[in-house]
A = this chain, B = another copy of it.
Amino acid sequence: MTAMDELPLVLVHVLPPFEIPFKGRLQSRFQLIDSSDSTFSPHASVLLCVGPAPVSSDTLRHLPSLQCIVGSSAGVDHIDLEECRRRGITVTNAGSSFCEDGADFAIGLLIDVLRRISAADRYVRAGLWPMKGDYPLGSKLGGKRVGIVGLGKIGSEIAKRLVAFGCRIAYNSRNKKSSVSFPYYANICNLAANTLGKEGVIINVGRGGLINEKELVQCLVQGQIRGAGLDVFENEPDVPKELFELENVVLSPHKAIATLESLASLQELIVGNLEAFFSNKPLLSPINLD
């Protein structure tokens, strides 16, 4: 048996309400200390972030010995990456843990909006089918032009699925990808002009702030686009009430990437990254800071 104070020290940034098995598993291997406990800050070499709480340059200033930040999200916008790069602090993210589930959910929302699945489910449950007859027809997915904003891990999985549905794919991203032959749009407005329009639908499984929500609501209410499937919102868990009455939207409580399986996979990855760090092996999901 190892005495607890011999376990490697892991500073936890904004200690979250862990699932018990996972917390227990971490505690059997690491000494978990809340990052607000300043006794240990000068000595901590690794910071575990189990949530998107900001890791600012100010946070980093109080951690002079920090060598690694183990993250748990796909995006790492909440971490001051510039400062990490300057100080040579390595950063890991969720790797591929979430990408398949995120892609599945995006496709599910897309089919739902085009084919009106949630809306028709409400119709049936309200007992309207025998009373009012056939539900209005939806629109076919196959053959549609789909513009993907960001062809990273999730975007690439989305593209792979859409190919099987016979969609015509184009994308926008910081750089043209040499690995795919889909048309590339350096300018997101040009992508939208070629794939969206009045009959188009918007799916957002990224972040609420990516879209001007007020304008989106207005477009949906006024019929300037056909519909939307939204998993994320600007001020979660608040969702604009105007959307509640619309039949052409599907609303989801920020769960595109989260399944029982993806969280289990993420926990493996976090433990694996911490163990790799302390045994001087290569990290499992380092991000490129160059």
Contacts and interface: CB of A to CB of B under 8 A. Distances in A.
The dominant DSSP class at the A interface is helix
A109 B101 contact: no
A138 to B, nearest CB: 6
A237 B129 contact: yes
Interface string A243-261: 0100000111101001111
A26 interface: no
Contacts of A259: 115, 137-140
A74 to B, nearest CB: 16
Most buried by B among A117, A165, A259: A117
A121 interface: yes
Nearest to A133: B237
A160 interface: yes
Contact of A104 (B105, B140, B237, B250): B140
A251 B130 CA distance: 14
Interface in A242-290: 244, 250-253, 255, 258-263
Given A124-B239, A239-B129, A244-B125, A138 B262 contact: no
Contacts of A163: 164
B139 A261 contact: yes
Given A109-B117, A117-B252, A124-B244, 17 more contacts: A100-B165, A101-B140, A101-B142, A104-B142, A105-B115, A108-B108, A108-B115, A112-B112, A120-B255, A121-B252, A125-B244, A134-B253, A137-B259, A137-B260, A139-B261, A161-B161, A164-B164
25 contacts: A100-B140, A100-B141, A100-B166, A104-B115, A105-B115, A105-B117, A107-B111, A108-B111, A108-B112, A117-B118, A118-B118, A118-B122, A120-B251, A120-B252, A120-B253, A122-B122, A125-B244, A127-B244, A134-B253, A137-B258, A138-B260, A140-B260, A143-B261, A161-B161, A161-B164
**Top 8 A-B pairs, shortest CB-CB distance:** A108-B111, A164-B164, A140-B261, A124-B251, A129-B237, A118-B118, A140-B259, A130-B237
